[in-house]
Structure 1
Amino acid sequence: MASLLLPATCSYGYLPLPLLLLLLLLLALGFTNEHFHVARAELERRHTVDVRSLLPNDVCSSIQDHNKGPITEPKLKLIHRHGPCSPLMHRQSAPSHNQILAEDQSRVNWLHRRTSAAARHSNKRRGPLTLDASMIPAHTGDSLGTGNYIVTVGFGTPKKDFSVIFDTGSDVTWIQCQPCVSYCYPQQDPLFDPAQSSTYANISCTSPYCSALDVSGCSASNCLYGVQYGDNSYTVGFFAQDTLTLTPADVIPKFKFGCGEKNRGLFGQAAGLLGLGRELVSLVSQTYQRYGGKFAYCLPSTSSSNGYLTFGEDYPTANVKFTPMLSNPSTPTFYYLNLVGISVAGQQLLILPSVFSTAGTIIDSGTVISRLPPDAYSALRSAFRKQMSAYKPAPALSILDTCYDLSGQSKVIIPTVALQFAGGTEMNLDVSGILYVASASQSCLAFAANGDPSDIAIIGNVQQRRFNVVYDVSKNVIGFGPGAC
């Protein structure tokens, strides 16, 4: 008699009793392994999940590392800045989901402006930037909406720790510094005081690092930097160098960063930003000789658990599949990749290749919800709604227009969603990467449409949850390994 082959339960939930009985009946009737493989494939097109597992906890849970073998390179704890694990949360309440999604739209608008045809032909600005108050808007800046995740790193000698936003879509690392010229936004950590660090030094205006800045200026031969993220959200100050401490064993001397003396924006009590983009001033480029342009991270499934950020050769490699990392000389900061298709419940969506190739696709840790070209999103939404027709619809949530009321349900069946990239790499999303759960009564498809087909598509951080996302600039590849945290 044929042996009974049942699907693993770790990735797709438990095996429902009726289906188990059906499989046993088929076995008794003499069905072969081929039939069971078909049944297994059908199961693997859906996730059966406990509704309670989709909801974040009020208590911080410790990091779960599912990768085999030790990680000997620097490993930083990656924390959701609005969750119970965040060191920033005791000073503030968590924003509403509408506020988070509105801030996310501001982030996306900024990315689209940066990658628009007009922006691609703009030149770097050098010279007019000053610390003069008249050069800075007088009213409070809009929210940057940059990222949901923070790490803690050290600056200076002796080292002072700061919680900073982790961002693959930015190059300049910066923190707020004393003295503040007219304004610094509120933050959890004390401001960094350059005068208290024995290794701090300003960068000369003639330095290649100063020339590499998108916006720069000079003050008494010292380099000034400026970064603007959204409407009136910015940081301005001296571009400097000091010791950066990632872990006690990984200390980076003469690391170039922005010492912000004038900063506007709602940065959620974070002290600044860790820039992991691709240009000369980024952390990835500055540490290339040490780490070879390699880093990896895992974003946890909920805000009540932690992930990790690691640098160097010894990143986790279990089940990682790679796709080419593309470059765009007009916007060299970003990590481009070639999204070629989407499937729902194992069924390929009919989307013309030109839909994805028109503007291209980037992966961005600072964007929450993935944005797709309008035609691609329409196809995804239609297929997802068809698969979820058994569940009660719920009102839209901000930019999310496909929501369901799962209250009263103990378990739900959710179709799989897979993003397909060049080279045959497929990103089978975790359940937490398919649904954005505001509450049991409002659980939404975690994708949104771009307003214009010419806007770039963006793979946001919700879709990256629980993946070991590996960046290897030396080989120009990006990899995805499921179930990493």
Structure 2
Amino acid sequence: MSIVYITLRNAVTSTLLGAIMFLHVASGFPATLTLTLERAFPMNHRIELSQLRDRDSFRHGRMFQKDNSPRGVIGFGLKGSYDPHVAGLYFTKIKLGSPPKDYYVQIDTGSDVLWVGCKPCIDCPTSSKFNIPITLYDPSSSSTSSPISCSNKICSLAGQTYNSSSCSHNQCTYTIYYGDGSATLGHYVSDLIHLEIFLTDTKSLNVSASVVFGCSTMETGILATSDGAVDGVLGLGRQGLSVISQLSSQGIAPNSFAHCLADGGGILVIGQPTVPHIIFTPLVKSQGYYSTHLHSILINGKKLSIDPSVFAINNDKAGTIIDSGTTLAYLTEEAYTPFVDAITKSVSLSVQQRTSNGNPCYSITSSVSNIFPIVSLNFVGGASMHLRPQDYLSLQSSKSGAEVWCMGFQMSPEKGITILGDLVLKNKFIVYDLDAQQIGWADYDCFSIVEVSSNSSSSSGEVVNPNQISGGRSLWIRSHQQIPVIVIASIAQLTMMFLGFQAIHMSL
């Protein structure tokens, strides 16, 4: 089993964009993948919660569509922000086609399909506020591109995932509508995705895997604008069209991944981190997204009077969805009102209450942690997620010693659906163990070293204090089995020895 230790530099004060890769040649265990996250938005830029709700509704439209639902380490650098005061998203660069070309795609655990804008494309954006090039995929310019025919079983799988595939000129086509009225239309193709695996400290291996993805030839609504535009979406969901599912079925990547999001950065790994106190709750097998059984909410240890059937899961209700791409959090209507009322009642003597665009807000002159209560979300199996005030409130403004905090939990746009977004998930390792069909979490300093196992069933290992290592919050990996690795980063070039294993720090 290969073990990796990682420490992430604070991305607010650096431009680190790293990727770490190695291959265990002698064993068949899957290895791990690490991704660095960086802020792409100014910290002093704040927007109204109503705008964040509009942004989240775009994501949820994709989520609420009909749903019937030798290995090595591969690294991607991620940029983006979960900050609830900006239109947060995370994106990465992938290589597709022959010859390979770069495409920037949004990381999305709330959908399954990888798709990119294609030539010719109607109303596709031509620029992005993220200062990245917008590139259209051209099937005719890739020697390894081939369309997916209507008779291909992949086309049938696509129809089960989105209930939107059809046939045109013997090509498997799709139309995906979103909740805000925007859409992407196109056809499915098969082409190579190019991945780099490191064998030694002087030799790397370029590996290509055939994947099926969407070739979007028309985009409407928000997708057609340059505000937050990227080349497409990289779906990391649970269905067969997910990139995780496709790479796992080919033996290229393990069937487990995790993320830890913090202020200004974070980490995403393919593999399972071994961190203290991770607790798990089962995933709902009948749902295509990462849905769990929430059964009660406690405020300062007192259980709210909410009928448990409110959180029930059936054909019409999706339960509680863990979605790393949603900025805020959303409670089903029957739970939202008692939740807000209980919070407001508990602080009524210490705050000045106000309303902003229909959202409850509170003006305070002391620490939010000293005024507002702890919230506990209780799940099936005894797993509880404890939320600080900063995990359910959003700081809207701060002037002259007074702060205005607004409710970060919103009323769900869909009946019977609760969604936990990044506001709630921050400063926690969230583990998606697809082999065991469970999801887990633990409070964590996302900038500290963490052990990541290539075997999702592993539960043993050692956590190393970052203060023991010169440089502190740099990106580090260490192999227990003396496999040389290459560390790729974007600041300086350093070479140092660590416990007998060589790491090379290079510019991307």
TM (norm. structure 1) is 0.69
Deviations 1:248-272 (A, max 9, x none): 5585511111121211232412211
Amino acid at match of 1:310: V
Amino acid at match of 2:133: D
Over the residues paired in the alignment, what is the CA RMSD in angstroms? Answer: 3.5
Structure 2 residue corresponding to 1:238, chosen from 169, 182, 187: 187
| Aligned residue in 2 for 1:445 | 407
Distance verdict in 2 for CA 1:392–1:95, change over 3 Å: closer
Higher strand fraction: Structure 1 or Structure 2?
Answer: 2
Instruction: Report the Cα offset of residue 336 of structure 1.
Output: 1.5
Deviations 1:48-69 (A, max 9, x none): xxxxxxxx998668699xxxxx
Work out whether residues 202 and 240 of structure 1, in 8 Å CA contact, stay in contact via their aligned partners in 2.
yes
Q: Secondary structure of 1:299's partner? A: strand
Instruction: Report the Cα offset of residue 448 of structure 1.
Output: 1.8
Distance verdict in 2 for CA 1:106–1:164, change over 3 Å: closer
Amino acid at match of 1:377: Y
Q: Secondary structure of 1:179's partner? A: strand
| Aligned residue in 2 for 1:199 | 144
| Aligned residue in 1 for 2:212 | 256
Work out whether residues 239 and 288 of structure 2, in 8 Å CA contact, stay in contact via their aligned partners in 1.
yes
Work out whether residues 11 and 37 of structure 2, in 8 Å CA contact, stay in contact via their aligned partners in 1.
no
Structure 1 residue corresponding to 2:241, chosen from 273, 276, 281: 281
How do 1:17-96 and structure 2 match up within 5 A?
A: 73-79=32-38, 82-83=41-42, 96=48
Q: Secondary structure of 2:119's partner? A: coil
Structure 2 residue corresponding to 1:384, chosen from 318, 343, 347: 343
CA distance in 2: counterparts of 1:398 and 1:156, whole angstroms: 47
How do 1:375-414 and structure 2 match up within 5 A?
A: 375-398=334-357, 401-406=359-364, 408-409=365-366, 412-413=369-370, 414=372
Distance verdict in 2 for CA 1:317–1:156, change over 3 Å: farther
Higher relative contact order (CA 8 A, sep 6+): 2
How do 1:178-327 and structure 2 match up within 5 A?
A: 178-181=119-122, 183-184=124-125, 186-187=127-128, 188-194=132-138, 195-213=140-158, 214-245=163-194, 251=207, 253-267=209-223, 268-289=228-249, 290=251, 291-300=253-262, 302=263, 305-312=264-271, 314-327=272-285
* Stretch moving more, 271-280 or 389-398: 389-398
Amino acid at match of 2:221: G
Equivalent pairs: percent with the same residue? 31
Amino acid at match of 1:203: I
Q: Secondary structure of 2:425's partner? A: coil
Higher helix fraction: Structure 1 or Structure 2?
Answer: 1
- Consecutive unaligned residues of structure 1, counting only runs of 5 or more, are 1-55, 65-70, 86-92, 125-144
CA distance in 2: counterparts of 1:61 and 1:182, whole angstroms: 32
Work out whether residues 154 and 244 of structure 1, in 8 Å CA contact, stay in contact via their aligned partners in 2.
yes
Deviations 1:104-131 (A, max 9, x none): 245446655x4xxxx67xx99xxxxxxx
- Consecutive unaligned residues of structure 2, counting only runs of 5 or more, are 1-9, 19-29, 70-85, 199-205, 447-508
| Aligned residue in 2 for 1:150 | 91
Work out whether residues 469 and 478 of structure 1, in 8 Å CA contact, stay in contact via their aligned partners in 2.
yes
| Aligned residue in 2 for 1:90 | none
Aligned length: 380
Work out whether residues 101 and 398 of structure 1, in 8 Å CA contact, stay in contact via their aligned partners in 2.
no
Work out whether residues 243 and 251 of structure 1, in 8 Å CA contact, stay in contact via their aligned partners in 2.
no
Larger Rg: 1
Instruction: Tell me, yes or no, if structure 1 residue 340 matches structure 2 residue 295.
Output: yes
Deviations 1:364-398 (A, max 9, x none): 23322222233322232233223333543353344
Q: Secondary structure of 2:238's partner? A: coil
Amino acid at match of 1:285: S
